[in-house]
Structure 1
Amino acid sequence: MQQLLTDEDYRRIFQSAPQLYLVLDQGLCIVDASDLYLQATMTERDQIVGKYIFDAFPDNPEEVMATGHSNLKDSLDSVIRHLESHTMAVQKYDIRRPEEAGGGYEERYWSPINSPVLDDDGKLVFIIHRVEDVTKFVVARKLQMEEELCGDNGKDLTHSAEQDIYLRAQEIQEDKKRLAILNDELIKARDMALSATKLKSDFLANMSHEIRTPMNGILGMADILLRHDLPANLREYVSTIKEAGNSLLQVINGILDLSKIEAGKLVLESAELNPVRLIESVAVLLSEYGRSKQVTLVTFIDPAIPETLIGDAGRLRQIIINLTGNAIKFSDHTEVAMKADLLEATATDVLLRFSVTDNGIGLTQQEIETLFKPFVQAESAMSQKYGGTGLGLSISKHLAELMNGEMGVSSVKGQGSTFWFTVRLHCSKRDIAARKRHPGRLTNPASLNGERVLLIDDKRHSRESLHQYMTAWGMAPESAESVRQGLTMLGAAALESRPFKIVIVDLLMPGMTGVDLARAVRNDENLGQTKVVVLISSARPGLAEQAKSLGFDACLTKPVLQSQLLDCVIGLLLDEQLDDPESQKNGDKSGDKSGDRSDDNETTTKISAVESRSTLPPVLVVEDHRINQQVAVLILKSLGYESEIAETGQAALDKLASRDYGLIFMDVQMPVMDGYEAARLIRLSELNTKRHIPIIAMTAQVAEGSPEECLSAGMDDYISKPINPDLLQKILDKWLPK
């Protein structure tokens, strides 16, 4: 039986080849070398692999007129441009001797041939750099010429040289045959590698589908149960199921993400994103987790960062959530500061730096060295105490690099860490046009210029964040670490007739509290015009009215968001009443300042929405998995939509022939006829009816080009499994007629 050669066998064959070979990548960095090449150049493999060829073998600095390197560069450039072999004339190279061999350079004469290695699509993969050492013949020729000039033994030397050249020519022919065999073996090895990569990609796509299908059922049913009025103990049980399911899904997603990255199959999206909203949404999302550990989240976003940029918001959010979640996990009773800075800005793109700083357990240098490796945590005890797979940082680092950035960390054991990453994002057409219309626009509102504000908080990051915002808006902020210090500053400023317009104070601080400060301000007639804003750790309905009864003019919930802070400051300076902080968190801009929102009105609105949906054509769900069918029907019913099930693509076509549907949810992986083929046939049938039914793909989104494949098959949008009811509602609102 014929034995198949392994990759290691091919490597040994190449390295043992009886010729001088180098393998270069597209960037002219050395991938591998034959043993004879290493001997001829007096180097070791680990000294040159990975290096740029001209860095690994530099010119002799004493040979000012040397042309070997420039000629080789021209030849390699020709191979890259034309994808054809290029044979060079004999070149003189100075080979550097190791120091232990006496140093200096040895003169060699080589005849190089540079050949491309292409993939199945005809794209350049590697360059084979092969040389023939003709030093002996060149030296012999020089001797011959010298002896001819002297008239001694010229004919004998010529005859000898001719014989040597003939013999060497025969050897070259044999070498060419061996090279052809070696090239064939390299092509086979390449084909095997490409086949293995495709198998891995297909396996990932199938595994994702097989895992997400039952997970969709588990999480979907949990969501449906939580929408019912359950007893407290049952609600806790179902919430535990959902939490455990989401944790398992995070681990699965991490493994799949890492596999996609390693296989080169992860593709970033390119769409408009708002960096301020993105970061602040993460802060709000993780604030409850922070409060559970008595960790205060603080955000600062450079006001110079454009409002809209182009990038992958989902992956950017993934990195920020990972870094911030880790910071909270490894911290207790402290602060975590999230920061975004504008490092560079051109007419078309920006370089942003995101950082997350904590005062947690910190890291040693040895721990940092293994930190970004997959499945590795700083120490096993940490894994036992805090949990986690150790995948998040490795994936985040890869994602940052895919966004043309990098990731790093600075840390002191026992004092805390700062994790940071950079990304380069394109400016949106909207932002570019705005900058052209207002090239000198300022980031600070003119109404805030020079206004004095006092910031009182015992937490350093919180004070610094507020101070940076106020400074960026042109205000004149000052800070105090305690209420007692703040009251002293307030009194001194009033006596100097330079009173602070606004005081922002944390509610709970050691010694005197924010309530004590508000009471003191209200009892001091010199501070009658000073507005007092209180910072609280969590929002609840009616808190604004309660704050006013304690002497505060407004309250803000930590983490303090940029937009809320600006609205609050401008509103107070204009004597405007602010919303309850709970409505601020939800982005309510309705203009209702009373704080009294009727639950009856809200319920009436929801009922009206459900009634209006009942008049719409039904939704068709094309899904072969029984549990997922039930989940889809129940979720759609809870949202007020009638639905029907088709178990296969063919069944969907049959149903469409007899009834009108408002929208189709199409599973892409089904037996007999998959979702892609079904969508194409539906679009083909619509050529006669002139009607377009929105088709939404339900996909695991693992294979490269999955969204593009859905759209090219005629689908309008896609949603990933497990199905999130809120995202499902957004899809329905987007595509179903109102």
Structure 2
Amino acid sequence: MKLSKFSNYPLKLKLLLVPAVATFSFVAYLIYSSLVLSGGNALLKEIRDAQFPTLYAAGENLKSFDGVVESLNAAAATGEVDYLEGAKAKSSEILNRYDSMERMDPTHTNEIEKLKSDFNTFYILAFNVAQRMMAKKNPPSQQEINELRELRNAYSLSAVSYRDAAEKEFQETIHKAIRRSDRAQGSGAIIGSVMLFVIAILTLLVNRGIVVLERVVENRNKMLLLVNSELEQEIQKLKSAEEARSHAEAASHIKDEFLANMSHELRTPMNAVIGLSHLCLQTELSDKQQDYLQKIHSSAKSLLGILNDILDVSKIEAGKMELDRIAFELDEVLGNLSTILWAKSHEKNLELLLETAPDVPSVLVGDPLRLGQVLINLAGNAVKFTAKGEVVVSIDLEKEEGDQVVLRFAVKDTGIGMSQSEIDKLFRPFTQADTSITRKFGGTGLGLTISKRLIEMMGGKIWVESTPGSGSKFIFTANFLKAKGRENAPRTEFAGFDGMRVLAVDDSENSLSILKNYLESFSFDVSVASNGRSALSTVRKANKDGKPFSLAILDWKMPEMDGLELARELHAMTEAENKPKILLIAGYGQNGTPALRNNKVVDGVLEKPFNQNKLFDAISRISGPDQSATGKFRITGAQFNPLLVSQVRGAHLLLVEDNEINQQVAQELLEGFGIKVAVAENGEEAIARLNEEQFDGVLMDMQMPVMDGISATREIRKNPKFATLPIIALTANVYVSEQNAFLAAGMNDHIGKPLDPDRLVATLAKWLRPARKAETVQPPPVAAISAPEALPDLPGVKVATSVRRIGGNVALYYSLLDKFRVNQLSTADQIRAALAAGDAKTAERLAHTLKGIAGTLGAESLQQQAELLENNIKNGSLGDIESLLAQANQQIRNLIASIDLAIEARTS
């Protein structure tokens, strides 16, 4: 009926009805789609403008609150005001975020206000308690501590609850948008189907148009779903990126603080120890004093070297670390190791044993400082985590091919041991095997990470074998070269003493085994005993058999009968026609060791830990031909490694330096190493000298008039003839960024000012290959053994450290003082005039020169003032320049007044 009525409609009406129905349906669908999109956009806007920022701010406030608590705890523990300032800053951040959250989230204003109030209540009390603990006055009562803990917990629970609620609302809003999108998709499909059905009934003429329209609608729905999915992914990416950035910034901040604090706190006292011990070594000393001071000096130098390595951790991370390739004696590395670890091992009553296989080359080519750093770290950890027993450091030859050798090092202890899960965490930065271990024993968590990287740079690998409660064994390999032209085979026999009968007595199984192996390598006939009674029986039996012992090596500290008592028994044996010589082995630094040397029943004393060569020398002194020393080293250069000095002697260097004092210091130190030195006062003069004569290397100052060091280096490198010429920077600026600038300009290395003689000779030996024979250059003069000249009395100046830096030459130091009072009197006026003329570069250079000279003389206060002045000029911060200049000028005049008195006292 209805169809018949429709068929009676005029054709025009029917043709109009089709597009009218289609248009109406399409308009209705567009209106519906717009409403859906509008609702989706409103939800997305709500997520973007309110919910996500609120959730993010709530999470950040929880992190900042942890920072406030940590800063206040650190302030209370250390007394550092900087931590209080850090707590204030983070507290301000938290309150500002809550203000923002109130604007973004008006529906939860009451909750946010309560969070602000709870935080303020906790912070005011915590800040007050931290201040009182820093001042060490009116310490908090237990009630206050409990109240503080309750306030902290209450705020933390409320903040976490608010954050979780915000996160829940955020997720519900996301799900709501998705559900709306799903409904839109379903409705769109239904509407499209209805439209298709109606239009199909009306006419087939618009069929294609309807199909196209349906496809458009379907595509719009798909696009909406895709937009929603991409939005969710972007939100997750933003959250992950923000967390990663926060972690990276925190790690970088911790590292920077660690490096800065380590540098500031340790360098100054270490330099004082090195300088004063070196100066004492130049005086007349007793044997005991000489021994003590030599060990102090060696230990301090090793510690300073390790400190420098730790401060270079950023180099390792950036792949900028390079290993030295110099000749060194393995025994020296082990000697430094034992010197550094003896005190702690003796304090814990531990045996520290060193064992080197006889086939290990004694002289190698590699980096002794890095090798020593690894061994000190591993052995130091072994001592730290061992309560009783022993620590054994052993070295074996694993592989040898031509000049290449692979050594296998092992550090074994009888300590607490580790599980496999703890071992898996060992080599991660800033972590140790277990947090409980970290709390009990301390440590930065950097040592093993640095050691692993250094071992890998030496072509080796490191691994651990350990069982909880049964000790640990750290094993690593490293590649070295054998030193050409050097004797590598250890001394293995005594002329005329082949087969000498020796008795070794020690209650430690490992120590006795090492001692026996060393003695057998000397071609001795060796018998062993583990206690005094057994040793006496062995000696009596040997005497009865007509094969008496010529030498007895006894451990001092043994149960029941100690080594000294056993020595007396052997000395009193009436049946022994030829009593054995007695060599007593005493723990390193044990009380009473000096008295043993004068005991009549003991022929010699050898301190633990010892290596093969030390044992050989000790036996030689009591059983071999007379090899007593003819005198102790008293020369100024005795502190320098003779191998390094021999490598650079005969070199011809160009020193580029504009300051007269710095010229004199560097020139006399270099000539003391047997190096011929030519001087240029700026970069242009240096280039001219290089074109006139041949040099083995260049020492280049950075800040000079006419042409600075970096510009001069770039010009030099443009000439292919100087492509491989070693150029080493001389600079008081040792920041990593500035070092990178030196390297980028074409320099090979840098040496910091004030010059350190050991660092200077080590760096030169690394790069110089003298073209001339060393015999053509006179060796450095030997200082007389007469009493040294008294040091000048300069209040506030580290004279001893500075004299050490210039090789202990007091006369040279007086000469530098004289030049300073002549050349630096008007420095402040010169800087002021340069700034008035708009020449900031010259003013900065003058301040930099003053800083370097003050550092050379040991005037640290003036050095710091000059550095502050230099930085202000460099950064254009000229507001306080006049005040800084006045302070610097006053310090210069005070120092010159002290110099006048010191020189006058010296003259009189």
The 5-angstrom pairing of residues 503-542 of structure 1 reads 503-527=552-576, 528-538=578-588
Alignment partner of 1:342 out of 397, 402, 405: 397
Alignment partner of 1:487 out of 519, 529, 536: 536
Q: Which amino acid aligns with 1:409?
A: V
Bigger strand share = 1
Q: Which amino acid aligns with 1:342?
A: L
Alignment partner of 2:413 out of 351, 358, 376: 358
Identical columns (%): 31
Q: How has the CA–CA distance of structure 1 residues 277 and 246 changed in structure 2, closer, same or farther, with 3 Å as cutoff?
A: closer
* 1:299 matched residue in structure 2: 354
* 1:398 matched residue in structure 2: 453
TM-superposed CA distance for 1:526, in Å, is 3.5
* Native 8 Å contact 1:405 1:421 kept in 2: yes
1:677-707 deviation digits (Å, cap 9, x = unpaired): 45678999xx9xxxx9997635859689989
Q: How has the CA–CA distance of structure 1 residues 571 and 248 changed in structure 2, closer, same or farther, with 3 Å as cutoff?
A: closer
TM-superposed CA distance for 1:280, in Å, is 2.9
Tell me the secondary structure at the aligned position of residue 478 of structure 2: strand
Say whether residues 1:453 and 2:509 are aligned partners: no
* 1:414 matched residue in structure 2: 469
Say whether residues 1:557 and 2:612 are aligned partners: no
Say whether residues 1:462 and 2:517 are aligned partners: no
Structure 1: stretches of 5+ with no match in the other structure: 1-199, 230-242, 436-440, 580-590, 607-618, 640-645, 657-662
Q: How has the CA–CA distance of structure 1 residues 207 and 225 changed in structure 2, closer, same or farther, with 3 Å as cutoff?
A: same
* Native 8 Å contact 2:506 2:512 kept in 1: yes
The 5-angstrom pairing of residues 627-638 of structure 1 reads none
1:172-202 deviation digits (Å, cap 9, x = unpaired): xxxxxxxxxxxxxxxxxxxxxxxxxxxx9xx
* Native 8 Å contact 1:349 1:427 kept in 2: yes
Q: Which amino acid aligns with 1:463?
A: L
Task: Indicate the structure (1 or 2) with the bigger Cα radius of gyration.
Answer: 2
Alignment partner of 1:254 out of 288, 310, 313: 310
TM-score (norm. length: structure 1): 0.51
* 1:473 matched residue in structure 2: 522
Structure 2 CA distance for aligned equivalents of residues 722 and 386 of structure 1: 36
TM-superposed CA distance for 1:566, in Å, is 1.0
* 2:378 matched residue in structure 1: 323
TM-superposed CA distance for 1:571, in Å, is 4.1
Alignment partner of 1:697 out of 701, 706, 730: 730
Structure 1 CA distance for aligned equivalents of residues 454 and 356 of structure 2: 21
Structure 2 CA distance for aligned equivalents of residues 272 and 424 of structure 1: 14
Q: Which amino acid aligns with 1:697?
A: L
* Native 8 Å contact 2:463 2:475 kept in 1: yes
* Native 8 Å contact 1:531 1:553 kept in 2: yes
* 1:311 matched residue in structure 2: 366
The 5-angstrom pairing of residues 44-443 of structure 1 reads 218=268, 222=272, 253-254=309-310, 256-257=312-313, 259-430=314-485, 443=492
* Native 8 Å contact 1:309 1:428 kept in 2: yes
Q: How has the CA–CA distance of structure 1 residues 517 and 666 changed in structure 2, closer, same or farther, with 3 Å as cutoff?
A: farther
TM-superposed CA distance for 1:712, in Å, is 6.1
Q: How has the CA–CA distance of structure 1 residues 397 and 377 changed in structure 2, closer, same or farther, with 3 Å as cutoff?
A: same
Q: How has the CA–CA distance of structure 1 residues 489 and 540 changed in structure 2, closer, same or farther, with 3 Å as cutoff?
A: closer
Q: Which amino acid aligns with 2:509?
A: R
* Native 8 Å contact 2:345 2:383 kept in 1: yes
Q: Which amino acid aligns with 2:477?
A: T
TM-superposed CA distance for 1:623, in Å, is 11
Tell me the secondary structure at the aligned position of residue 575 of structure 2: helix
Computed over aligned residues only, the root mean square deviation of the Cα atoms, in angstroms, reads 5.9
Q: Which amino acid aligns with 2:548?
A: P
* Native 8 Å contact 2:730 2:753 kept in 1: no
Structure 2 CA distance for aligned equivalents of residues 669 and 461 of structure 1: 58
* Native 8 Å contact 2:502 2:524 kept in 1: yes
* 1:46 matched residue in structure 2: none
Tell me the secondary structure at the aligned position of residue 485 of structure 2: helix
Alignment: residue pair count:
473
Structure 1 CA distance for aligned equivalents of residues 744 and 528 of structure 2: 55
Structure 2: stretches of 5+ with no match in the other structure: 1-248, 281-298, 640-653, 673-678, 690-696, 771-776, 781-908
Q: How has the CA–CA distance of structure 1 residues 481 and 723 changed in structure 2, closer, same or farther, with 3 Å as cutoff?
A: farther
Structure 2 CA distance for aligned equivalents of residues 299 and 348 of structure 1: 25
Structure 2 CA distance for aligned equivalents of residues 221 and 403 of structure 1: 29
Q: How has the CA–CA distance of structure 1 residues 387 and 553 changed in structure 2, closer, same or farther, with 3 Å as cutoff?
A: same
Q: How has the CA–CA distance of structure 1 residues 397 and 214 changed in structure 2, closer, same or farther, with 3 Å as cutoff?
A: closer
TM-superposed CA distance for 1:360, in Å, is 1.6
* Native 8 Å contact 1:518 1:550 kept in 2: no
Structure 2 CA distance for aligned equivalents of residues 315 and 704 of structure 1: 24
Q: Which amino acid aligns with 2:427?
A: F
TM-superposed CA distance for 1:568, in Å, is 2.4
Structure 2 CA distance for aligned equivalents of residues 427 and 224 of structure 1: 31
Alignment partner of 2:546 out of 493, 497, 501: 497
Q: Which amino acid aligns with 1:482?
A: N
Bigger helix share = 2
1:618-662 deviation digits (Å, cap 9, x = unpaired): x999699xxx99xx99x99xx9xxxxxx9x9779989x9xxxxxx
